[in-house]
Amino acid sequence: MQNNVIEALAKRRSVRSYKQEQITDDELKTVLEAGTWAPTAMGRQDPWIVAVQNPGLLKKISRMNAAVMGTDVDPFYGAPTYVLVFGSDPAAWANSVPDGSLVLGNMMNAAYAIGLGSCWINREREMFATEEGKALMKELGLPDGLIGIGALALGYPAAPPRDPKPRKENYWRIVK
């Protein structure tokens, strides 16, 4: 069965090289809105989404994320926009990480659908657990008790994405 959504899901790839041109406000709002339509447990809408385009703040977040890896290489691949996703501490809401992950997935697929590139960036849980990270969350206007779930590098791809790898054998099965 073929349709545009299924085709987009099959073709979307992580982008690791971006043009420096900033995305438009309409493009950003489209991606963010798609995140809000992700399913969440019990319809709780627990995740918090923060888009960052301020150059100084981008550098700070990149440095903090790289420090978790023990490197000084930009883990956001030079993207002009970062989208951070936060959620409740899993001790308070067990579905926090799955809910936030679905938000990130929706936004990645929406970005591809409108011609943007994205890449899921990890280590937000570790970086926002630090004192510097907690202070940054306050600066971003977030409530206490949240954790970092993940982030997206977002922008115009500098090159076409690679072809997808073949899917592994026996990836799925049907039991009747």
User: Looking at the whole model, is its pTM more than 0.75?
Assistant: yes
Decide if pLDDT at 42 tops 90.
yes
Both tokens of residue 116? 């943007």
CB 46 within 8 Å of CB 95: yes
Decide if pLDDT at 166 tops 80.
yes
Question: pLDDT-derived band of residue 161, with 50, 70 and 90 as boundaries?
Answer: confident
pLDDT of residue 107: 98
Computed over every residue of the chain, the mean pLDDT equals 96
Q: Render pLDDT for 46-62 as a digit per residue (tens, 0 to 9).
A: 999 999 999 999 999 99
Q: In terms of DSSP bridges, do strands 81-88 and 146-155 run parallel, antiparallel, or are they unpaired? A: antiparallel
pLDDT of residue 67: 97
Decide if pLDDT at 176 tops 90.
yes
Domain ranges of the chain: 20-154
Q: Render pLDDT for 104-115 as a digit per residue (tens, 0 to 9).
A: 999 999 999 999
Q: Render pLDDT for 130-153 as a digit per residue (tens, 0 to 9).
A: 999 999 999 999 999 999 999 999
Provide the CATH topology of domain 20-154: NADH Oxidase (3.40.109)
Bridge partners of 51, per DSSP, are: 83
Q: In terms of pLDDT, which residue wins out, 165 or 2?
A: 165
For residue 48, give the nearest of 124, 109, 161 by alpha carbon: 124
pLDDT of residue 105: 98
Question: pLDDT-derived band of residue 2, with 50, 70 and 90 as boundaries?
Answer: confident
Residue 113 CB burial class (10 angstroms; 0-12, 13-18, ≥19): middle
